[in-house]
Each structure stands twice: as structure tokens, then as C-alpha cells.
Amino acid sequence: MFNFFEEIKKKAGDIDNNLLNDYNIINLSGKLLYVEGHQGVTIVNSEMLAFKIKRGRVVVEGEGLFLCELTDNTLTVQGKINKMEIF
């Protein structure tokens, strides 16, 4: 079975693969955000979503944001994604 993230990690070259296992985030056209490896959601509203990751926090700002899917370690957000920052 093809694994998108594993294929990208193979092409990363000299980067230590242990550093690439904390979380994965895909932003599709600024309309859909898919996350693997979150460690809990801390803020959810139509203009902001924040969640914890290993060694930090991610804040997503936008318009009409809503949480489509939430599991123990994945989440999917839809809406107009204007900005994403990792702290």
C-alpha cells in the first residue's frame, strides 16, 4: 500500500527520520487541513483552531473554520485557512 508520508521521508535525504515522526500536516488549497500526530485540541471556533503537537503548538487562523473529523491523533478542518503558525 502506498504511503504518501513515507515516500516523502525517503526523499528527504540527510534529515534524521526520527525528527520526521512527530506530526504531519497537509494544507489542501487553503480550504482543508489534515493533521496526523496532534496531542489535543485547545481552541475551536470559526476563526481559530489550536492544537498541541510534540514539542509545541499549532494555531490555524481563518474564516468559517469547522472541525470535520477528530480522532485520538488525527484531525481534519475545513474552511478558509488564512494562516498557520507553529510555536
> How far is the C-alpha of 23 from the C-alpha of 64, rounded, in Å?
24
Ordered by where they begin, the domains of the chain are 23-86 (2.60.40.2000)
DSSP assigned state of 55 = T
> How far is the C-alpha of 43 from the C-alpha of 59, rounded, in Å?
9
Q: What is the pLDDT of residues 52-68, one digit of tens each?
A: 999 899 999 999 999 99
Q: How many CB atoms lie within 10 A of CB 31?
A: 13
Q: What is the pLDDT of residues 30-58, one digit of tens each?
A: 999 999 999 999 999 999 999 999 989 99
